[in-house]
Amino acid sequence: MAGKAEPEVEDFLAMLAAQRGAAANTLAAYRRDLVGAAGVLGALAGASRDDLTDLSAVWADLAPSSLARKASALRQFYGFLVDEGVRDDDPSSALPRPRARRSLPRLLGHGEVDALFQTAEEDARGRTPEGLRMLALLELLYGSGLRATELMSLPLAAVPRDAPFLTITGKGGVQRMVPVSTRAIRALGDWLAARGKGGRFVFPSPRGGHLSRVRLFQLLRDLALRAGLDPEKVSPHVLRHAFATHLLEGGADLRVLQTLLGHADIATTQIYTHVDAARLVALVNQRHPLAKS
């Protein structure tokens, strides 16, 4: 938890929470960056362009992604101060504008996904609660592209009765409808029948509440190992990436994909066009007649 912030920073964070619906983790990240900058400059609200230039020198050794995040927090803060009439000028033009290179997501091929499902389905044939739960988790991660937090905190009330959709509460408390395949509904129904009564979450923890993200991570790594895959390659987020990439390969529209993934900005979804383009280049290099010359 970051230290105490000056009043203007607290007002800015309150605005993010009230007007933009920023999640707790997002607010904590902004607080850390702003309090950290204040630790170098003193009070941020009265900082000058020269002060921010000096701050850029202090940040010189940061990775481009970290530098971009910190500079963005300050730009938004000073824009807020101008909007509120606290300042007449915006000194943030003195901040650096690094180009943080977005890395391509790690991918699972269709064969690797098939291996995971074959192992999970074999386990589920035993009708043990653990096997049925693992198959339901896998179906919803790869079949619906849910984030780990969304899946773990999924309430029973969100499970479809007649319509093949889940109501998901994503980042910033934004809700969206996510389609659920027939096979996923079947796997989910089998799990709920084996789950028993009690608790309000689809995937409850034995100690109360819901299954943790760490436990989900462990379960997937164990499944990958038994499926003959490198467990380092498999995680909830990698399965979400596979969902998106394989849909795009199948002809899904980018705007539809944005809605399914719950991305606020289409630019976040566009990373998958780069993944698809990279595969096309690899295909040309491997299959084109001139590649053999």
Active site residues: 147, 171, 237, 240, 263, 272
CB 144 within 8 A of CB 179: yes
Please report which helix (H) or strand (E) contains residue 65, including its range.
helix 64-83
> What's the rounded Cα separation, in Å, for the pair 168 and 175?
5
> Residue 21 is encoded by which pair of tokens?
């619906």
Residue 101 per-residue DSSP state: P
> Residue 258 is encoded by which pair of tokens?
């944005």
Question: b/e string for 109-119 if b means 16 or more Cβ within 10 A?
Answer: eeebbebbbeb
Select from 125, 150, 127, 126 the least CA-distant residue to 137.
Answer: 150
Select from 253, 218, 259, 255 the least CA-distant residue to 235.
Answer: 218
Residues contacting residue 120 through CB under 8 Å, at least 6 positions apart = 131, 134, 135, 138, 223
